[in-house]
A and B are shown apart, each in its own frame.
Chain A
């Protein structure tokens, strides 16, 4: 099939107008030796019905979370997303539009960005947000670019930052001439000394995750004070965004740049799905932000409206001197974040976070009743905690699937020596029954496996 609304007769009329007799003539600028001969080796096209069947067949080879009780997080956090979100996202005036470069006919997208920027600033306690970057990992990388310059060209990152975020930052740093140093964890959190031990006059920023990759809540206030004493910036990467319903906003604890990923509020996790990089900062650093920013203004008749602004930072104007090369971002998921967080509102987010905290602690208590299961670190936590298991996490995972339970995340995939550590994520949508079932199943599996 195809989506071409031109008939053979119409085609003939068009060719005639152009003054040629076949479409092929239009390609005469392409040297003959470069013309592709024959057919591309691709399966034959299908009808709409057949295509849908083929895709359903592929989808069926996956086990979807709806059939399971999910206890996996580690950067992809499954919280409640209201039904209305996907309905509103599906309004095609939103999703079939391009970047709002023509503001007169893009006020829907633009007003959404303005509201989104406000909501992100509220969550993080910051002055300015942009319209999004790709994901949480690239948001940390962009924050590094904001913080570093020729003189201050190194950053110190806590080992408690998500492994994949660290790897992404390293990729970005390599080539830009920035050095990435690491502050080691001590009992699951990053002591100020670990940063201080690495710091020099060239240190541009300290980076910490909040709560960190192991679920532990870091004292970002202390770290921020130490960073500022060194004339370095404090970059905070928020892990599970819903934590902003219960944890103090990083901006109120001394953060200069706050980043995160709006995935939990953008829709179903979709394997590697609706990531949306969040990045917010102080008024002082606003002009170093990457990507698009929306501002309020007025039209020629004095009516309120919105435009993309401060574009002198961006690649289409500054080219080689732009603050980033980013062009497309994750705009549709910014809309989803705005809708979800407007629906939850002030008290919904708080309730979500408090229920998550309650559930996660109940679950932890239940799991610790099992012989041989211990906390990896004994620190305050929010929605995630890492436990040491008497069996490999991978084995536990496999057997839990039989009880229709997904999780925990096998920490061995990040650090080989942690193959007996499982990272459990528990949110407000997990029922007491789910957690009791998990504890029961785990106990049985561990007892069976220990003797194998």
Chain B
């Protein structure tokens, strides 16, 4: 019987289980097996095995290979997911992260045996400090949101250390990523949301109206989530600093500015960057990421422990646990080290020139694509140059009744991953497009033509768009059913 792998449902690995099949071979024991009942209290011994599948090696390999064919990655095609910087993930980085001298290390090995790992961490810290214009960097945070939490805790520690306990509020613009307000809450702050102008700029008057001696800080993304540079950043910094607050830089959009401008020079006190966005490490289907945090000198004493230091007179690297006013520890060990190796590899390969050129071409590609897509859809801020991403909407074809979601789904039929949709929240029906610098002109042209073709379909045959995608392994999925009748794990059918 012939089967079409690409349309066939892939059985769960549990359904492939057949008694007696095995895919593992453990080292043969030359010691007599210990009777577990002799050494562990019987009520703490497992009565029934965890019901894991019994499958052969070839079954495992085929199962996951089939699953991979039902996925779309950057290597599959154009992935213009705004705010996520889905740039090409260099294969060189995959190899260096797997070098035995990096991958086969234990976290508690004597420090003399991991000098290369510490040196790499130190060099990445120094590089990120230079790129962002900060003084000291920690690589501990495991992701962007984890970096935000680290940074906001540092701001809290700063105010607490001055006995300034009335600063209970963090200001967040309504255009911010959802992680910003969620982070501020988790750090124990009250979130004050302020309105942005239609172009995503901070409304200075609105800002002045909310700042005061209870302001702990402001969280800001620059370029903003609308892909525009916040021109008033100096004035904003003055307002916040003038009120005694600190400025936090959400580095999601750093890919637009490397070598061009630096958050440290704009007046930010704390920044995080995402190694899995700007510094080319893969997103892994949702992680691991890495969210290093950089601070100005006066905040260095609050960094999480341990920090990685260079000891000049010994020409050695070490972990430093003696950070008297540290916010504490953010996770076990030292950060997502394999991600750190990849990002360092990238920075080492590109150097200052390559990084700057990457940002320049990220912005060039975005503006070029904005121009082309603008021929078919409404674009936000049409008179300004965007940075690395831009927003468009189907406002110009409103009468067709087709929504952003439909257009996004229809893009899939043409072989593209959709952009980020319905974000930022302040733009109705937003589609946020970020091409990155690793795409060529033909891809951009073809994508814009596809947008044009879909717009024509919206006018002539809207049903086609509203029911898209048509060519995928599954069609639109019932999310309401998923939420109302949660089926979150497999359970073996009960045989009567």
Contacts and interface: CB of A to CB of B under 8 A. Distances in A.
Interface stretch (B38-46, B238-246, B394-402): B38-46
B156 interface: yes
A246 interface: yes
Nearest to B91: A92
A324 B29 CA distance: 45
A111 B288 contact: no
A273 interface: yes
A64 to B, nearest CB: 4
B221 interface: no
Contacts of B57: 82, 84, 343
Contacts of B148: 325
Interface residues of B, number: 201
Given A2-B350, A27-B363, A52 B96 contact: yes
Contacts of B251: none
Given A17-B372, A95-B284, A246-B36, A76 B486 contact: no
Interface string A246-270: 1111001100000001000001111
Contacts of A240: none
Given A93-B71, A97-B283, A431-B27, A319 B182 contact: yes
Given A35-B260, A325-B186, A98 B286 contact: yes
Interface in B328-370: 328-338, 341, 344-345, 347-358, 360-361, 363-365, 367-368
A187 B411 CA distance: 64
Given A93-B72, A297-B479, A269 B229 contact: no
A197 interface: no
Contacts of B360: 23, 26
B124 to A, nearest CB: 11
B488 A293 contact: yes
Given A23-B363, A309-B479, A346-B52, A108 B67 contact: yes
Interface stretch (B80-88, B206-214, B455-463): B80-88
Contacts, number: 702
B459 to A, nearest CB: 23
Interface string A1-23: 11111100011011101100001
Interface residues of A, number: 212
A263 B115 CA distance: 23
Contacts of B79: 98
B41 A219 contact: yes
A85 B231 CA distance: 48
Interface in A28-85: 28-31, 33-36, 39-48, 51-52, 54-66, 70, 72, 74-76, 78, 80, 82, 84
A273 B103 contact: yes
A105 B265 contact: no
A95 B147 CA distance: 22
Pick from B30, B67, B116 the residue with the most CB of A within 10 Å: B67
Contacts of A310: 483, 486
Interface in A284-302: 286, 292-301
A354 to B, nearest CB: 7
B145 interface: yes
Contact of B285 (A28, A100, A219): A100
Nearest to B46: A248
Interface in A304-331: 304-307, 309-312, 314-322, 324-331
A100 B291 CA distance: 20
Nearest to B16: A342
Interface string A130-142: 0110111110000
Contacts of A331: 284-288
A371 interface: no
Interface string B139-158: 00011111011000100100
Contact of A245 (B46, B70, B285, B338): B46
Contacts of B289: 328
Interface in B290-321: 304-305
Interface stretch (A165-173, A199-207, A226-234, A444-452): A165-173
A59 B101 contact: yes
A294 B488 contact: yes
B332 A136 contact: yes
A295 B486 contact: yes
Given A328-B288, A345-B23, A345-B24, A104 B144 contact: no
A19 to B, nearest CB: 8
Contact of A98 (B21, B86, B90): B86
Contact of B44 (A28, A132, A248): A248
B490 A118 contact: yes
A17 to B, nearest CB: 6
A82 B145 contact: no
Given A40-B356, A118-B14, A331-B284, A342 B53 contact: yes
A28 B385 contact: yes
B102 A107 contact: no
B382 interface: no
Given A100-B285, A111-B70, A269 B107 contact: yes
Interface in B261-294: 261-262, 265-266, 276, 280, 282-289
A51 B259 contact: no
Contacts of B67: 94, 107-108, 111-112
Nearest to A122: B50
Interface in B19-35: 21-24, 26-27, 29-34
B108 A409 contact: yes
A371 B384 CA distance: 78
Contacts of B368: 14, 17-18
Nearest to B185: A320
B454 interface: no
Contacts of B72: 93, 97, 102, 105-106
Given A111-B70, A176-B188, A96 B153 contact: no
B429 interface: no
B352 to A, nearest CB: 4
A249 B46 contact: yes
A361 interface: yes
A274 B87 CA distance: 22
B332 A270 contact: no
B233 interface: yes
A362 to B, nearest CB: 5
Contacts of A292: 286
A34 B234 contact: yes
Contact of A171 (B12, B153, B337, B475): B153
A104 B286 contact: no
Nearest to B259: A40
Given A245-B46, A298-B478, 8 more contacts: A36-B133, A82-B24, A92-B73, A98-B285, A107-B67, A164-B333, A219-B44, A246-B46
6 contacts: A42-B355, A62-B117, A104-B474, A246-B46, A295-B487, A325-B148
Q: Which 10 A-B pairs have the closest CB atoms?
A: A45-B351, A59-B101, A61-B116, A332-B284, A331-B286, A108-B71, A96-B73, A175-B188, A171-B328, A272-B333
